[in-house]
Chains A and B, each alone.
Chain A
């Protein structure tokens, strides 16, 4: 039992090959095996959204997926967004609008919003609220997050995302 499985996963454009235990969660694989700590882990029960990553273009909970299931798939995490000197427009907007305090929930919000804006580059406030209704934030009260998404959408409009 517990037979390790060889997997090949593309994360933020880079290919990784690893042997993993079947019970290893994708969230733990990213954080511990690949040392990509941009993905945060909160409830580990699929409820809070902190662990959200993008898998083949859609947002998913990485605490509800085993790493073996990511074999042959493409993952995007917050680590692959901007750098400190060149933030992604969405990160920049989060900073400017004070859309975070402790920042624990932030990577999950970012990775939820990015595919949302790819599909809906010009969202209304209502659509933004619906899009983020699977992410919990204990600090901000959400208002500034909605403002940041709005701001980023305006900035990103026209540019390829």
Chain B
């Protein structure tokens, strides 16, 4: 036995037999352990010295973690450890939730997507996460196994800050579920990055729209922006414009401007805040146009 990479900190690899055992271990080792899925965030964070967990708790092998199930009434359930490629290639997802497949396919490279998971992307809680927006606009709800048993967490209230979520020590997300999407819907994800291969978004825009008799305009839109706030940003002002005013080119312009005005991005290595704002407006306009053309 020899030659471990010196750049990686020492840790123990734990492979529990059941979810209960896994949750219990994570509670007992609060702040020094974490659930281990695709590892595409974890291994890089450990290698770069940011995370120093003493224990990685394998959860991919546990019951139901890699199954995908579609029910025409209840909707879609994706086991948490399902790889992004398996999500993107699944016939029911391509047919009924193409926006999710599109978002998964926008992440890095094919080889990475054979390991990376949608749920890991969400739990990592990066505001740049490419699959978070699609999961939110499609009404995603997480199934969570914690110290107190099973519960659900809707994505609308899941994110607290960069890397911070409502998950507590011992919590393991076992699946993400989606309701049947609204009738007549269409969606679009536009990712702006420096290159497609390995880059996080400078700005990401997810739009979902559908006819809705309950609004004044007769349509409802959900818009989530990536990389413009500490958490995935719901462009509520823009959504309101589109619900209230009869939709025209001018109203789409106004909604895109409202999305720009509502977000407060920062300057960082990937882009200036000013550029991000302008791109939010342009790309929201572009995504709205595409969705509107399909649903009107």
Binds A, one of B40-48, B132-140, B170-178, B203-211: B40-48
CA distance A1 to B55 in the complex (A): 9
A57 and chain B: residue at smallest CB distance: B114
A55 and chain B: residue at smallest CB distance: B114
Which of A5, A68, A136 has a CB less than 8 Å from the CB of B197? A136
CA distance A136 to B215 in the complex (A): 49
Interface positions of A from 48 to 65, Cβ below 8 Å from B: 49, 52, 58-61, 63-65
Query: A65 near B3 (CB under 8 angstroms)?
Result: no
Chain A CB within 8 A of B56 CB:
yes
Binds A, one of B4-12, B183-191, B216-224: B4-12
Chain B CB within 8 A of A96 CB:
no
CA distance A68 to B5 in the complex (A): 14
Query: A21 near B110 (CB under 8 angstroms)?
Result: no
Chain B CB within 8 A of A82 CB:
no
Chain B CB within 8 A of A133 CB:
yes
CA distance A135 to B111 in the complex (A): 9
CA distance A126 to B112 in the complex (A): 20
A13 to chain B, nearest CB (A): 21
Query: B109 near A21 (CB under 8 angstroms)?
Result: no
A108 and chain B: residue at smallest CB distance: B111
Query: B2 near A33 (CB under 8 angstroms)?
Result: yes
Which of B2, B13, B110 has a CB less than 8 Å from the CB of A133? B110
CA distance A100 to B44 in the complex (A): 29
Among A3, A21, A23, A112, the most chain B Cβ lie within 10 Å of the Cβ of A23
Chain B CB within 8 A of A87 CB:
no
Chain A interface bracket (under 10, 10 to 19, 20 to 34, 35 or more): 35 or more
Query: B4 near A60 (CB under 8 angstroms)?
Result: no
When each residue 4-36 of chain B gets 1 if its CB lies under 8 Å from chain A and 0 otherwise, what string results?
A: 110111111100000000000000000000000
B110 and chain A: residue at smallest CB distance: A134
Binds B, one of A24-32, A144-152, A153-161: A24-32
Question: Count the A-B residue pairs with Cβ separation under 8 angstroms: how many?
Answer: 101
Residues of chain B within 8 A (CB-CB) of A134 are 108-112, 197
CA distance A45 to B115 in the complex (A): 14
Which of A1, A28, A59, A133 has a CB less than 8 Å from the CB of B11? A1
A134 and chain B: residue at smallest CB distance: B109
Interface positions of A from 106 to 161, Cβ below 8 Å from B: 112, 131, 133-136
Query: A46 near B44 (CB under 8 angstroms)?
Result: yes
Among B12, B38, B85, B111, the most chain A Cβ lie within 10 Å of the Cβ of B111
CA distance A44 to B204 in the complex (A): 27
Query: B114 near A60 (CB under 8 angstroms)?
Result: yes
Residues of chain B within 8 A (CB-CB) of A25 are 5, 8, 43
When each residue 51-71 of chain B gets 1 if its CB lies under 8 Å from chain A and 0 otherwise, what string results?
A: 000101010000000000000
Chain B CB within 8 A of A95 CB:
no
Query: B10 near A52 (CB under 8 angstroms)?
Result: no
Residues of chain B within 8 A (CB-CB) of A136 are 197
Query: A49 near B12 (CB under 8 angstroms)?
Result: no
When each residue 99-132 of chain B gets 1 if its CB lies under 8 Å from chain A and 0 otherwise, what string results?
A: 0000000001111101100000000000000000
A19 to chain B, nearest CB (A): 5
- A1-B54, A49-B109 are contacts. A24–B5 as well, Cβ < 8 Å? yes
Chain A CB within 8 A of B198 CB:
yes
Residues of chain B within 8 A (CB-CB) of A49 are 109, 111
CA distance A64 to B44 in the complex (A): 8
Chain B CB within 8 A of A103 CB:
no
Query: A68 near B110 (CB under 8 angstroms)?
Result: no
Query: B40 near A66 (CB under 8 angstroms)?
Result: no
Chain B CB within 8 A of A20 CB:
yes
| 6 chain-A/chain-B pairs, Cβ below 8 angstroms | A1-B12, A24-B4, A33-B1, A44-B47, A131-B110, A134-B197
A sample of 5 more A-B contacts (CB under 8 A), given A3-B12, A44-B7, is A1-B12, A18-B1, A22-B11, A23-B4, A24-B5
Residues of A within 8 A of B (CB): 1-5, 18-25, 28, 32-33, 44-47, 49, 52, 58-61, 63-66, 68-69, 112, 131, 133-136
Which 3 pairs from chain A and chain B are nearest by CB? A134-B109, A22-B13, A32-B3
